[in-house]
Structure 1
Amino acid sequence: MVRVKICGVTNWADAKLAIDAGADALGFNFYPPSPRAVTPAQAWGIIRRLPPFVEAVGVFVNWSSDAVMAMARAVRLASVQLHGDESPRTVAECAATHPVIKAFRVDDGFRPAALARYRRAGAFLLDGFSERLRGGTGRRFDWRIARQARRYGRIILAGGLGPENVARAIREAQPFAIDVASGVESRPGKKDPQRLRELMREVEMANREVIRLARNGAK
């Protein structure tokens, strides 16, 4: 079953919308240049209202491990996503207290073998490359790369996903989870109810297909 993280949540209304639609996790961006950035107070105001089994994930870009862990404790994050140029050591230090998602921006020079250095990461997020943005780029990359990267760990697929293509992306990449921000927005930081619900319906249908194929393969 492919899990769903809705990233760039900035308000309770959007959080509730995602929860009610069936999201497994919500992403809170602590990268100030992002149009989806939140303050610790804003994040906590949402996280404290989350129901059981919906996880809060903090997104950080080039923070020190001490700063990441302090924020994670302060707002009670379930996991941390390191979306910058963090070293394997930083990942390992953060992993001592919280599950770590290490993000990579996939450009023409990206090679899945780069993931092997980050042995303490609990999952790897692969995102479309942008010189200007760290996450929420809306840019796709070749999903076959994500499928190839599965040998190194759990893969979270991001970049240019929306209701129109998410089912195909799941079939081609076979990820552990998907991460969507701009693909379900009416504007940066504001989720579109219709697109979000459509996305979750498409994921549900794709998951049913995955289960059906697995059962047929087991016969």
Structure 2
Amino acid sequence: MKTRIKICGITRVEDALAAAHAGADALGLVFYEQSPRAVDIATAQEIVARVPAFVSVVGLFVNPDDARVREVVTRVRLDLLQFHGDESPEFCDRFAIRWIKAVRVQSRHDIEDAMARYADAAGLLVDAYDPHLYGGTGKEFDWTLIPRQRPLPLILAGGLQPANVARAVARVKPWAVDVSGGVEVAKGLKDRLKITEFINEVHRVDQTD
């Protein structure tokens, strides 16, 4: 099975193009003002206008209000929404756009409960837990907590980088992997070589399975 790859926290057109040309399946734009990787609507529009065909654009939100999401989806062409906070299933489902839900993992129960509660999601993203951060921790979590039975496509995040993503894919066998800080030279600024190495490592494992 092909492991899908999302490069998140894109803030520049050149980074979006580098990721797309290296083989990324999806790009993530962060609409969470407290994130160092946040983009405003004008920047997001500029990036989206340059994304080539068959590369999805995902808009990431953390505990937004209804008006904020509607403003963004009206003005920016998004293929998928990603909710990374404490949003309810009912809230996630309001916007007539497919969505994924992120969960910060402390126990196997966190994943199993989210799989059941967010059953209408297009996928469940599992990330490292930090009491003060909604993602972007740069930390791995215990992958043995991930159940084998997965009613939803599982997207693995949390501390991934070129040096460990092959091991992650081989062990977890996720539907997709999601990386941000692991392919950066500074927060919000991607490194073309790291992106290419990361994607090549994922493809290398796929080809040997």
Q: TM-score range by the shorter chain?
A: over 0.9
Aligned match of 2:164? 165
| Aligned equivalents of 2:70, 2:82: Cα separation in 1 | 11
For 1:31, give the aligned amino acid.
Answer: Y
For 1:63, give the aligned amino acid.
Answer: P
1:87 paired with 2:88, answer yes
8 Å CA contact 1:64, 1:90 repeated in 2: no
Cα distance change, pair 15–150 in 1 and its aligned pair in 2 (3 A): farther
8 Å CA contact 1:103, 1:124 repeated in 2: yes
Gaps of 5+ in 2: none
| Aligned equivalents of 2:176, 2:73: Cα separation in 1 | 21
Gaps of 5+ in 1: 211-219
1:130 paired with 2:169, answer no
Per-residue deviation, 1:177: 0.4
Aligned match of 1:145? 145
Aligned match of 1:194? 193
Counterpart mapping for 1:26-105 below 5 A: 26-94=27-95, 97-105=96-104
1:207 paired with 2:206, answer yes
Q: Which runs of 4+ in 1 moved over 6 A?
A: none
Per-residue deviation, 1:92: 2.4
For 1:114, give the aligned amino acid.
Answer: D
Per-residue deviation, 1:131: 2.3
| Aligned equivalents of 1:89, 1:66: Cα separation in 2 | 15
Cα distance change, pair 66–86 in 1 and its aligned pair in 2 (3 A): same
| Aligned equivalents of 2:186, 2:154: Cα separation in 1 | 27
Per-residue deviation, 1:63: 1.4
| Aligned equivalents of 1:76, 1:177: Cα separation in 2 | 22
Per-residue deviation, 1:65: 4.1
> What secondary structure does 1:4 align onto?
strand
Per-residue deviation, 1:108: 4.6
Aligned match of 2:11? 10
8 Å CA contact 1:167, 1:202 repeated in 2: yes
| Aligned equivalents of 1:161, 1:106: Cα separation in 2 | 15
Count how many residue pairs are aligned between Structure 1 and Structure 2: 207
> What secondary structure does 2:39 align onto?
coil
Q: Which moved more, 1:150-159 or 1:103-112?
A: 103-112
Q: Deviation string for 1:49-85 (max 9, x for gaps)?
A: 1111011100001113453244123101000000000
Cα distance change, pair 150–4 in 1 and its aligned pair in 2 (3 A): farther
Q: Which has the higher contact order (CA 8 A, sep 6+)?
A: 2
TM-score by length of 1: 0.90
Cα distance change, pair 156–171 in 1 and its aligned pair in 2 (3 A): same
| Aligned equivalents of 1:164, 1:139: Cα separation in 2 | 13
Q: Percent identity?
A: 44
For 2:164, give the aligned amino acid.
Answer: N
TM-score by length of 2: 0.94
For 2:152, give the aligned amino acid.
Answer: G
| Aligned equivalents of 2:206, 2:108: Cα separation in 1 | 31
> What secondary structure does 2:57 align onto?
strand
Per-residue deviation, 1:110: 5.0
